[in-house]
Structure 1
C-alpha cells in the first residue's frame, strides 16, 4: 500500500483503536525467532549480496518496524534502549539486516525531531498500520541533489549515494541543496521521478541496500519538507545525529558478539590443540583461554557503555524542547566514548578470532571473515580519529563537541 500525505485525526481516521498483533513484552521472543531465521543462510547471503527481500518481509511481518512508534499511534511504545538492544541482537547473526532495521527507525526519529506532530504523526500511524519500511536518502555529505521552488511545492533533482534501505522501501527521507542550505523531506519511494538503483557492491555490509537513488524533477509538497524545527536547529533536533552514532555502536557490538560466539562454537566442536602446548584438549590451551577472556572483557565494557548512553538518550528525548545544549553535549561525549570502545573491541575480536580458531577455520564456506569485513566497512562510516580527538578536547578544555550530522 503506497503512503499518502494526508493529515488525519488520531488515534486513527475512524477514531477506532489500532489493533496490534505484537506487544512490547513479546519482543525478546520475536527477536529470537528472527535470529534463527537470519542465521540459516547468513553466510551465503553475505557472499551473494543483493537485496534481502525475504528477510525484509520477515521484519515487516514481525511487527518490529513499529517498535519505536508510540502506542497511541499503533506502535509498541518501545524506548530507544529497547530498539538498540534489538539492533545489537540482530547484528550478532546478520549485521546487514540489523543495519536496515536500525536505519528504518533512524528515519522515524528523523521526522519526529525535524518536524511538527501534524506532519509526523500520520507517517508514524501509516507505518504502524501498514508495516511501511523507511529508507535513507539523506546523506548530508552528498550534496549533488538540488531543490527548485515550483508553485506551491518543490522539485528535487540529482543523485544521492549511500542510501541504506532505499530499495524495497515505502518511504524515503531525502535531502537536497537550496541556496546553500540542506533541506530534508519525507516522501513515498514510489513517487514519479524516483529511481532506486541496486548498485551497492562493497566488501562488507553487502545486503544493506545502500546503493544510489536518482531524483528526476520529483514533486515534493511543502508539507513534506521537514523545516520546523528542521535539522540541527535546536538541542533536541541535534539528537538525531547522536541516535545515528549510537546505532553504529549497537551494530559494532553485535558484530563483535557474533564473532566471539562463532569462534567459541568452532573451538568447542572443531579446533585441535597445538602440539607444542602439551594439552589434550583445546579447552585447556592457555593461549586460547586468554584470547577469549580478552574478547569478553572488551565487548562487555563496550556493551555497558552503550547501555548507559542508551538510557541517557531516552532521558534526553523525554526532555523535549527543554533539553539544554550542555545536556546534549554530555550525551555526545558518552556516545563517542561508547563508539570508540565498541569499534576497537569489535575490530580486535573480528581480526584476532583466527588466532583462537586456527588455520582450518579460514575455509571459505565457514565465512568467519564476514564479521571483520562487515565491521571494517561499517567503522569507516565516519573517522574514529575524529571521535577520539573530540573526546580529548573535552577532557582538556571541557568544551562539548560541535553539533553536526556526525557529532
Structure 2
C-alpha cells in the first residue's frame, strides 16, 4: 500500500563556502569587550552587503551560521578555559545589536543562541552548567530552541533512566540549522512541573517543516517542528535531582531561574534597536547620495540635505535612538550586576530585585518597540519614492521589526510598568515577564 505520509523537505540552503575566507581571516578571537564589538561590526559589514538579496532568496541560513561560527561570536559569553570570550551579558547584548544593524535575522539568531547556550546556567545546577558550557563552547556549537510557550507544552514521559519528549511547536527559531536544541515540556502526570533539556538536533525524531515564509526575519528558520520520542538522561534534566526525580529546590525553588525571561526579553529589544539603527544608517546613505530636493514647495532647496523636514526627521529619530541605546545599556549593566552578584549565590536573589530588573527590561521593550517601528516606517519619508525600489531593500527593516514586535503584546508591558510605578507592584514571573 502506498504511503500518504509527506516528509518535509529542507529548502535550498545558503552555502557555507561563501564565507570560508573568514575562517582563516579570524584565526584568533578578541580579548576584550571593545575587540568583540569590533568583531560584531565586521560581521555586520559582511552581512549588510547583500542582506536584501539574501532575504529575498529566503534560503536556510547555514552560511550565515557558519559566518557566526568563524567570527567566534557564538562563544562570546563562554568561559575562557573552553575557548570562550568570557564577556558579560552587557557585551553580548551590544554584539546582538551590532549584528542586527547589518542583518536583523542574523542578529536575532545570535541573540537566541546566546540565551539558549546559557540556559543551564540559569535553570540548571552547577554541574550541568559547567558540563554544557564545555560541550557548547569547545565545539563551537550553535544552539536553537523549541520552547514556544503559546503552544501546548511538549509532553514528557519518564522511567528510571530517562525523560522522553513528544509534541509539536509552531516556532523553533534557529533549531533547523542548530547543532543542539533546547527542549522544554511538562510531565504528563504532573503538568505543573516543567523540565528543560539540551539534546543533539541531528537525530531521528526531530523533524522541521521548513515553513517559515513570513514577511520579516526571513532567515531565522522560525518555522514549526515535531518532536517524537526524543530522550535525555535524568542527569540532563536541568535543575532536577536525577536520584529523586524531582526538581532540586535549591535550584528551581527560588527566583533565580526566572531570570531566563527578562534575559531573553532584553535580547529582543537589542535586536529591535539594531534593526532600527541599521534602517537609519541605510536611509542616511541613500538620502545623501540619491534623494532629490522637492522643487515645488515655494522654498526650494538645492539639495535634499537642506530640506527642513528631512533634517527634522533625522534629528528626531537620532535623539530617540540615542535615548533607547542609553536605556538598553542601563538594563544590560543591571544584568551584569545581578548575574555577578547571584550566579554563585542564587538563593540570595529576592523577588523584589528580580522584579526591579524585569521592569528596566520592560521599559526597554516599550521604547525600542515604539521607536523602532516609527523609524523603520518613517525612513521612506526622507528618502523618497525611488527608495521603495526592491533593490534598495529599505523595507526589510520595517518588516523585520514589525514581525518580532508581535511576539508578545507591548500593551502588556505598558500595563505592567503602570502597575509598577503606580501601585509598586513587581510582575509575577511568567513565560513572558
SS in 1 for 2:176: coil
1:22 aligns with 2:42: no
Is the 2:197–2:236 Cα contact (8 Å) retained in structure 1?
A: yes
Is the 2:128–2:236 Cα contact (8 Å) retained in structure 1?
A: yes
Instruction: Name which of structure 1's ranges 87-96 and 115-124 shifts more when overlaid on structure 2.
Output: 115-124
1:152 aligns with 2:161: yes
Report the Cα distance in structure 2 between the residues aligned to 1:329 and 1:262, rounded to whole angstroms. 37
- Deviation of the 1:144 alpha carbon: 4.7
- Deviation of the 1:233 alpha carbon: 4.1
What is the correspondence of 1:168-183 to structure 2 with a 5 Å cutoff?
168-178=177-187, 179-181=190-192, 182-183=194-195
Report the Cα distance in structure 1 between the residues aligned to 2:303 and 2:30, rounded to whole angstroms. 46
- Deviation of the 1:295 alpha carbon: 0.6
User: Among residues 273, 280, 285, which one is paired with 2:302 in the alignment?
Assistant: 280
User: Among residues 191, 212, 217, which one is paired with 2:229 in the alignment?
Assistant: 217
SS in 2 for 1:123: helix
What is the correspondence of 1:48-63 to structure 2 with a 5 Å cutoff?
48-63=57-72
1:259 aligns with 2:279: yes
- Deviation of the 1:129 alpha carbon: 1.5
Aligned residues between the structures? 388
Cα deviation code 1:154-192 (max 9, x no counterpart): 221111121111012111111122221332111111233
| Unpaired runs of at least 5, structure 1 | 1-19
What is the correspondence of 1:103-118 to structure 2 with a 5 Å cutoff?
103-118=112-127
Query: TM-score, structure 1 length as denominator?
Result: 0.92
SS in 1 for 2:183: strand
1:317 aligns with 2:326: no
SS in 2 for 1:208: coil
Is the 2:162–2:232 Cα contact (8 Å) retained in structure 1?
A: yes
SS in 2 for 1:374: helix
Is the 2:144–2:180 Cα contact (8 Å) retained in structure 1?
A: yes
Report the Cα distance in structure 2 between the residues aligned to 1:127 and 1:113, rounded to whole angstroms. 15
Is the 2:165–2:228 Cα contact (8 Å) retained in structure 1?
A: yes
User: Among residues 159, 167, 175, which one is paired with 2:176 in the alignment?
Assistant: 167
- Deviation of the 1:368 alpha carbon: 0.7
Report the Cα distance in structure 2 between the residues aligned to 1:263 and 1:198, rounded to whole angstroms. 32
Instruction: Name which of structure 1's ranges 115-124 and 89-98 shifts more when overlaid on structure 2.
Output: 115-124
Report the Cα distance in structure 1 between the residues aligned to 2:405 and 2:261, rounded to whole angstroms. 16
Cα deviation code 1:291-321 (max 9, x no counterpart): 0011101111111000000000111111211
What is the correspondence of 1:224-373 to structure 2 with a 5 Å cutoff?
224-228=236-240, 233-275=253-295, 276=297, 277-320=299-342, 321=346, 322-373=348-399
Report the Cα distance in structure 1 between the residues aligned to 2:209 and 2:66, rounded to whole angstroms. 19
Cα deviation code 1:174-232 (max 9, x no counterpart): 11222213321111112332113322111111011111221111122111211345997
Report the Cα distance in structure 1 between the residues aligned to 2:280 and 2:94, rounded to whole angstroms. 18
Instruction: Name which of structure 1's ranges 304-313 and 314-323 shifts more when overlaid on structure 2.
Output: 314-323
- Residue 7 of structure 2 is matched in structure 1 by none
| Unpaired runs of at least 5, structure 2 | 1-26, 241-247
Query: TM-score, structure 2 length as denominator?
Result: 0.87
Q: Which runs of 4+ in 1 moved over 3 A?
A: 228-233
- Deviation of the 1:349 alpha carbon: 0.4
Report the Cα distance in structure 2 between the residues aligned to 1:318 and 1:144, rounded to whole angstroms. 32
Is the 2:286–2:383 Cα contact (8 Å) retained in structure 1?
A: yes
Report the Cα distance in structure 1 between the residues aligned to 2:257 and 2:100, rounded to whole angstroms. 27
Is the 2:61–2:177 Cα contact (8 Å) retained in structure 1?
A: no
Is the 2:30–2:39 Cα contact (8 Å) retained in structure 1?
A: no
